[in-house]
Structure 1
Amino acid sequence: MIKGMTTGKRGLSAVITTLIIILLVLVAVGIIWVVVRNLLQEGAEQIDISAKCLSVDMSAVSVTAVANASGDYSVTLKRKAGGDAIGGIKLTLFNSTDNSGVMEFGLALTELETRTQPIAAGVTNANRLEYTAYFVDSSGNEQLCSQTSTFNF
């Protein structure tokens, strides 16, 4: 009778081993699924932002130096119809040897809006403006559009 119990335990041991292997496979599949799902969601969000960027149409109207204020400029930007609400606009002023670094334009432009903002660039004799729109993603991070526009003045 003792021999029979030992044989029964071996069979039970094989069942437990099989169940543990199945459990490990399910855990591995779950981990892989979480990683793949996160990659797909990030890719989908990036595609969404790129599509939004394509529909935003902005142009620089004018850039003029502010009198009696070295390195300060009055920048006028215009947004045309179409596209989603943007998070804002980043811009940089350049002269022949230096640039202002990336600065915020101020408030975001709505559709068909033209706005003039004072910009303290710290760069004298600027002759070129580069600007790009950005959106704020679901995590609250700024996502710059890949298209940067240039305005020579």
Structure 2
Amino acid sequence: MEKRGVSDIITTVLLILIVLAAIGIVWAIISNFLGSSTEQIDLGAGFSQLEIVDNSIKYLPSDAIQLKVKRDSNPGNITGLRVIVESENGNTQSYDIDVPIKELETKIIDVPLQGKIQNVSKVSIAPRTPIKNKIKTGQTADEKNIESHIIGDEGLVGYWSLDNDVKDH
């Protein structure tokens, strides 16, 4: 009879250990899921709040483009931008610009092309923000297609696209 009593105690202890192990495994799975989900929420929070101001993109003589970026009043810590520049032939290049943009602020951003992109056809921006001691880049917040060539700042007053037909003369 004494052996049965010890056997019941061992069975109870083993059941408790199995339950604790199961709780630990479930907790590890749930905490991992919650950690990645909250990081995605942090990445998505306030990231639709940036826009490229219309007609603000222009070439600079120093092989750079300049654009105005406007932020709305959504809270969030935006410490910089990723500017993605696409050429007419489909080549893309991204540039990380470390310029903090405060709420309701409009900033002029200079993007040095460094000879990597010619004939720009599209410019996109994505916010960069610190999350858990790392700088994370959010989704693309805005993009502008350049319908015709970007006009430089050389004092040009007007530009008309001519079709080389009778109506042009």
TM-score normalised by L of structure 2? 0.70
Task: Look up the match of 1:99.
Answer: 91
Q: Partners in 2 of 1:150 and 1:29 — Cα distance?
A: 51
Aligned pair partner of 1:76 in 67, 73, 76: 67
One-letter identity of the residue aligned with 1:53: F
Aligned pair partner of 1:125 in 115, 119, 122: 119
- When the two chains are superposed, the root-mean-square deviation of aligned CA atoms in Å is 2.3
Q: How does 1:21-40 map to 2 (within 5 A)?
A: 21-40=15-34
- Count of residue correspondences: 143
SS of equivalent to 1:17: helix
SS of equivalent to 2:91: coil
Considering fraction of residues, name the structure with more helix: 1
One-letter identity of the residue aligned with 1:110: K
Q: Find out whether 1:135 has 2:129 as its counterpart.
A: yes
The question of whether the paired residues in 2 share the 8 Å contact of 1:131 and 1:150 is answered with no
Query: Larger Rg: 1 or 2?
Result: 1
Q: Partners in 2 of 1:32 and 1:94 — Cα distance?
A: 46
SS of equivalent to 2:89: coil
Q: 1:43 to 1:110 in 2, by over 3 A?
A: same
Deviation, structure 1 residue 146:
4.6
Q: Partners in 1 of 2:138 and 2:72 — Cα distance?
A: 20
- Ranges in structure 1 where 5+ consecutive residues have no aligned partner: 1-6
Task: Look up the match of 1:62.
Answer: 56
Deviation, structure 1 residue 131:
1.6
Deviation, structure 1 residue 142:
0.8
TM-score normalised by L of structure 1? 0.76
The question of whether the paired residues in 2 share the 8 Å contact of 1:87 and 1:136 is answered with yes
SS of equivalent to 1:102: strand
One-letter identity of the residue aligned with 1:90: R
Q: Partners in 1 of 2:120 and 2:59 — Cα distance?
A: 8
Q: CA offsets per residue over residues 94-115 of structure 1, 9 Å max, x none? A: 2211434211134232231322
Q: 1:135 to 1:95 in 2, by over 3 A?
A: same
Structure 1 runs, 4 residues or longer, greater than 6 Å off: none
